Structure 1
């Protein structure tokens, strides 16, 4: 039986999903894709999970698709067909997802970083949309990456395939922060995310992904209904009461 390439652990409401295939720089092999998708599904379905952290072992976060499995005409079809599911799971997860990068990401690895809600890396991490340099197109990952990136930077980096550092990744919108104290920064975001109401967080994630109306007035009626629904909800009423009583709401672990 093949060794596990993705580890899944839940501690204190945080599900940590760890890519553990350092021999090929955590490339998206068929086995890793299968195990990663299963872990994301498990986290989404577990009511005890409030936040998901996607991280890795070894010096590289993810090198993208496993090119050894993609050799030969049609050989890459399975990966191309399966990988969108993983990006969709990250993008639409009802639980906020934090990407923790202690090393570089390339191609599909950057697609996963972009699909997460929060992304933090060490300053030494580097990035590159290397697809054009091997004669392929960053097609699938464009759907998660382009909503994050400054358009000028996207044109430059997609077309040149040039490597860029974590500082620039922050500037163009790919990362939230670059810090040497990676674990402390991840813990800060996890704590902040876990303070939100679970249902409110899921709905806010969906709200952030909705197409914007042409003008605010076109969306007010729907948004008034959504706002009223949550003010009247059990979760909303608990949050309001907790604020008035100067205590933590019941979804936040009590000290």
Structure 2
């Protein structure tokens, strides 16, 4: 077992045991939003897992009631999002191109950009109570960057419904749409994830690596072909007056 003692201000934790690297988002103060610090730490831990010959499987999970609330709107409202959009493109690329399968454990809500992490993952197990929403449309935005991985997972009808309404949908609906692999009662979530991981670690490193690469081919081609375009679109919309007003109004409601 390899445990890394977390730094006092660390937002993402990393642990390796029995061939499994567990990466935990732990930023409850902003509902595990994709802040600059969280993204930097998540990148580093994914790279560590990819380069560790003892790791065969990566589990991505989070603490608290929310898995990931998407972009950190307090950062987005106060500055440009050009670099942030490009980083989110690369975050999805990193998960998709990782040489080890990534299993995401969803214990709670996922919103907006957080759904990009879900879509980039290979296998997703969610608690029945988990909920999902692509809320960008309500803020004058569009799910541009995460569409790189989300659209290939969804049926076209599901994409239209979820992207255009911005309304929440359930874990069971996410399974039907193709976004989530399996939904289980909350008290069975850990056992369900452990069962998937136990099956994966029986695979040989070469078998897992090459099968992951085979499965990732189309997604990686899409990210390469359209990543810059989607990052530019995202940054342009975040910088618009309409989106800035909507984000500031949202943040004001949260504080009141």
| Counterpart-to-counterpart distance in 1, 2:46 and 2:40 | 10
2:110 aligned with 1:105:
yes
Match of 1:168 in 2: 173
Structure 2, gaps ≥5 residues long: 1-6, 220-256
Rg comparison, structure with higher value: 1
Q: TM-score, normalised by structure 2?
A: 0.80
2:215 aligned with 1:208:
yes
| Counterpart-to-counterpart distance in 1, 2:17 and 2:208 | 20
Partner of residue 138 from structure 1, selected from 143, 157, 177: 143
Match of 1:83 in 2: 88
| Counterpart-to-counterpart distance in 2, 1:87 and 1:2 | 27
| Counterpart-to-counterpart distance in 2, 1:139 and 1:88 | 15
| Counterpart-to-counterpart distance in 2, 1:179 and 1:109 | 20
Partner of residue 193 from structure 2, selected from 186, 194, 203: 186
Match of 1:52 in 2: 58
| Counterpart-to-counterpart distance in 2, 1:191 and 1:80 | 35
2:15 aligned with 1:35:
no
Q: How far 1:77 moved relative to its partner?
A: 2.1
| Counterpart-to-counterpart distance in 2, 1:95 and 1:109 | 20
2:136 aligned with 1:126:
no
Q: How far 1:76 moved relative to its partner?
A: 1.9
Q: Deviations over 1:146-166 (max 9, x none)?
A: 111111101111111111000
Superposition misfits of 4+ residues, deviation over 6 angstroms = none
Structure 1, gaps ≥5 residues long: 213-255
Q: How far 1:210 moved relative to its partner?
A: 2.8
SS class of match (1:4): coil
SS class of match (2:23): strand
Q: How far 1:64 moved relative to its partner?
A: 0.3
SS class of match (2:129): coil
Select the structure that is richer in helix.
2
SS class of match (2:157): helix
Query: Looking at both structures, which has the greater relative contact order when contacts are Cα pairs under 8 Å and sequence separation is at least 6?
Result: 2
SS class of match (2:49): helix
Partner of residue 154 from structure 2, selected from 135, 149, 155: 149
Q: TM-score, normalised by structure 1?
A: 0.80
Match of 1:67 in 2: 73
| Counterpart-to-counterpart distance in 2, 1:156 and 1:137 | 13
Aligned residues: 211
